[in-house]
Amino acid sequence: MSQEPSHLEFTPPDERGGGGSLLLALFVHALLLMALTWGIQWRTDPQDEALDAELWSNIPEPIALKSDPPAPPKTEPDPRVKSPPLKKEAPPAAKVLDQPNQISQAALKKAADAEIAIEKRRKKEAAEQLALEKQAEKQRKAEELAAEKQRKAELLREEAARRKEEAALRKEEEIKRKQEEIRLRKEEEARRKEEEAKRKADEARRKEEEIRLRKEEEARRKEEEAKRKEEEIRLRKEEEARRKEEELRLLREEEARRKAEEARRKEEELRLLREEEARRKEEEARRKQEEARRLEQEAKEAEEQRQQQIKRLKSLGASATGPVDPIKESQGSGKPSDSYLGRLRARVKPNITFSDSQLQSIRGNPAAEVEVIVSPSGQIIGMKLTQSSGNTAWDQAVLKAIEKTSTLPRDENGKIPPKIPFVFRPRD
């Protein structure tokens, strides 16, 4: 608990909501002050009492005259009722005889003087007693007031200490609460920064991983392409080396025979290659002969159709319009429809053979344009590269695919244009 200045030791701290208690304390003090004032006033009121004195003596009583009225009966005063002070009056002189009257007057005077002296002494003693009682009462009230003040001061000190302690506790709790809030905010901020840093690190790792995977994939494709080209040579060399090692280790004595067999094997392979080449050439020649015969037959059929058409037109009197070429009419001179060109591209595109490594070597998406010459039956009889893509491999792949297709379907109107343009791009 913090130390307070000495002059503020008994000062109660300000608190909210203390107006009601302050009003209640003032009201209680007012009631106490009114009770004390009433008690003092009650003690200071004069208390005059009526005193009666009876004197007895041997003096003969005077003889009352017949004309005197009878004396009233004497009543005892009620000590509980305060009566006003009675004025002492001399008793009326009785009508007596001369000498006895003088004697009784002297005795009465002495008795009255004695009564007055006794009354004065009694009043003096009563006044002194009253003064002593007032002094004692005043001292008692002063002591009670001092004790009350001391008690109130003690209560105020205790209340001030309690409030001071409560204020210190509240202050300490407030400090702890603020420190806890600051700690929680710092922890939350640190956690948020840590999560943000973790998220950024994860994002960076993810991007690095994607880049790494792309590079690895690219390198893998290149390596696979290179390995594919070298695999046959490597395998052949490994097989040859393994075979040689095995033969050298196990059959060193049969070296000559192995060489003879190797020579015969090579000769056999050469023979088979020659026979395969001759057979391929023979088949190519036969195919060309058949194609020539088929074209000749189609030309004859077309000529016959043309002659028949001419005869039919002549018979109908349509010679004024000029001769009609049935071949051109059957092939159609109009531009092919877009759907027809799409079907033709779909017919040729599956025959294009182009590897991924070759595709990676091409920059952009260049187009190879080819003009195909088609017979009326849809047979491809010629082609010409009208616009090169700039990549010889792609141009050759397109030409080979068209050649491999060999036959094209008819358009929706049943006709086939004599020349059909094709455009192919490697990344379409």
Summarised one tens digit per residue, pLDDT across range 386-403 is 999 888 999 999 999 999
Q: Which residue would you say has higher pLDDT here, 391 or 258?
A: 391
Give the model's pLDDT for residue 93: 45
CB–CB of 372/348 below 8 Å?
A: no
Handedness of CA 190, 196, 200, 205 (dihedral sign): positive
CB–CB of 416/371 below 8 Å?
A: no
Which of 36, 24, 67, 25 has the alpha carbon at shortest distance from 137?
36
CA pair distance 40, 42, nearest whole angstrom = 5
Q: Which residue would you say has higher pLDDT here, 307 or 212?
A: 212
Question: Quick check: helix, strand or coil at residue 424?
Answer: strand
Phi, psi of 404, rounded to the nearest 5 degrees: -70, -30
Instruction: Specify burial of residue 108 (Cβ count, 10 A radius: 0-12, 13-18, 19+).
Output: middle
CB–CB of 394/426 below 8 Å?
A: yes
Asked if residue 8 has pLDDT above 70, the reply is no
List, as one string, the DSSP characters of 235-263. HHHHHHHHHHHHHHHH-GGGHHHHHHHHH
Summarised one tens digit per residue, pLDDT across range 195-241 is 999 999 999 999 999 999 999 999 988 888 888 888 889 898 888 88
Asked if residue 25 has pLDDT above 80, the reply is yes
Give the model's pLDDT for residue 213: 92
- If you average pLDDT over residues 56-74, what whole number do you get? 46
**Confidence class for position 300, pLDDT limits 50, 70, 90:** confident
List, as one string, the DSSP characters of 285-313. HHHHHHHHHHHHHHHHHHHHHHHHHHHHH
CB–CB of 347/404 below 8 Å?
A: no
